[in-house]
Structure 1
Amino acid sequence: MYRVFESLDALVTVVEEARSLPMTANCVVPRGDVLELLDDVREAIPGELDDAQDVLDRRDEIVSEAQQEADETRSSATEEAERLLAEAREEADRLVSAAREEAEQTVAQARHEAERAVSEGRRIHAETTDRARAEAERLAEAGRAAHDRYIADGQAEQARLVSQSDVVQAARAEAARIVDTADGEADRLRRECDGYVDAKLAEFEDSLTKALRTVSRGRTQIWRSGSPNGTPAPSLGRNGSGPASGLSGTGMDLID
């Protein structure tokens, strides 16, 4: 086709550049050049026409081959897509199973740790309570002994002073002062005992609260993360710290 176009362009150029005849629209062209260009066109056109005719004759065959190739490509692509989809589903099922197993192990470990922490807290609570009770009883006993001693001393002093007629009033006043002092000392010892017991219980309460908070954070994280198979996590309670099934999420339900 390029040869045909080139010959036609050359022929047009020859006609355009030909010398015009005076008083007419005719022109004088070189016959040899024009005939040579026409021969080139004549030689080139049959081959192109034959090729075009071959394409037209094989049009249905070419279309059929293209359609068949397209069908085969589509079928192969469909099979490949189904294979990849099946592999993806198998991999997804495997990952979900592994994630579920890991979640169950994590929950079991968290429960074991919570039970251990609660048991340890109970043991510490019992030991601290026993020590505080023993200390309180010791201090109370000491206070009572001191109180009784002061009372006895006051009574003895009062009796001695009463035996002296000239200092009876002073003795009574001193006895009352001694009794008041003894009562004040006994009250002070009781307050110190109560303060000591309260401080020990506060320390234990703080330790137990920290441990329960750690357990609560672990359980809350487990409940909020949900199961990895796509199902939503259990709904939280009103305070947002535990499941709505009644667990408080603080670990006190385990203690109870």
Structure 2
Amino acid sequence: MYRVFEALDELVTIVEEARGVPMTSSCVVPRGDMLELLDDVRDALPREVDDAQDVLDKRDELIDKARAESDAMVNGARAEADSAVTEANEEAQRMLEDARARAEQIMADAHAEAERMVAAGQAEYQNLVERSRAESERMIEAGRAAYERAVEEGRHEQSRLVSQTEVVQAAHAESARIVDEAHAEADRQRVDCDAYVDGKLAEFSELLSTTLRTVDSGRNHLRTPPGAGSRTPLYDFQP
């Protein structure tokens, strides 16, 4: 195939370099070289080109044959399609019947299961109701017992608190009495103490008076000249 393009290039070169004919657009080319290159082109062309030419020559015959074969194939395809459609319709009808039968069976099973579950639910409901009633009664009884126990404990606690209140009141009264007695005893002791202190102060005052008289007598005696009058004792102390 490469030789074809090479020969064509050489033909173009020969034509371009050929000597022109004056006053015309023609040219003079070497016949032998041209024929040799054309033979090379013919030899280099593949056999498929000849086959293509044969096909072109027998075009109408091939087209008619192809049309006949296509019509036969179309008719066969239509027949097969009709047969397939018929079989598909039959299969679909059969599958539809099977589906209906299975659906009816499933519905029957579902109804039976639903009835069984409803019955079981009702039984469970009754059981739960009975258990709830028993539990509620038990809780009510327990609540009543707890209430009564709490009331009783409250009463005992109230009595205890009341008794404690009386004890507290008695304790307050006793403490007030003790405080009053303590104040009275303190007042009595204060009076006794004041009397004792007053007595002691009176005795001390008397002692001071006697001492002062004795001191005055001694001073007077010291002031008297010797030999005057009778001698008196130096100290006149009388307790």
Indicate the TM-score class for this superposition, using the shorter chain for normalisation.
Answer: 0.3 to 0.5
Higher normalized contact order (CA 8 Å, seq sep 6+, divided by chain length):
1
**Is the radius of gyration larger for structure 1 or structure 2?**
2
TM-score, with length taken from structure 1:
0.40
